Amino acid sequence: MIGLSALLISGVAAASSAYQTYVIRSQFSATVWPYLNYVTTASPESFEFDVSNPGIGPALIMSAVVTRDGKPVVLPATPTNQPALQRAVEPEFLESKADARKSHTHGASSMSVSSIVAGDVVPAGAKLMLLRVQGKFITRRLIANMRRIDLTLCYCSLLGDCWTKRLWDPSVKPVRVRSCPIG
């Protein structure tokens, strides 16, 4: 009887310890939780597209896929510093240059693009500018065709919890995933 009582008490203690460990891990994971958002800012003469992390932990980017019309943007086989997002918006940029030439307003547009790739880190509270355009022709074309371009990020917390965030996903929140594809 004493042996069974000791066995029961040690079983309850082990279960309690395991549950307490689970609760502590859950609480700790909340202290390093990243939460990525896409932010767009537009005016008649400018457009900016950013990714921000209002979460309380850094977002470790495991993969970033840019698509245009549902197809992944493929960069040339030769080494290049051109970000995939720049290649995705290139048709709008070239068309806006033609628009500017037709209206005799040369040099009226500019574009700044940053890359986001596997291995990048978006610190907690940070905002990274991915695309910024200036000029009425490029802004008009980009806003009209922005739905053709998509960006899917898969990112993880410091504890290995992972999520995906797609620009045009109808779900507002990032989607929790088991792991991210590499690349």
Per-residue pLDDT of 101-129, as tens digits, reads 888 776 668 889 998 989 999 999 999 99
CA terminus-to-terminus distance, the chain:
59
Q: Who's near 131: CB < 8 A, 6+ residues apart?
A: 47, 48, 49, 85, 86, 89, 111, 112, 113, 114
Predicted structure pTM score:
0.79
pLDDT of residue 106: 63
Could you tell me if 114 and 129 are in contact, meaning their C-beta atoms sit under 8 angstroms apart?
yes
Judged against a pLDDT cut of 70, whether residue 31 lies above it is answered with: no
Q: How far is the C-alpha of 134 from the C-alpha of 40, rounded, in Å? A: 14
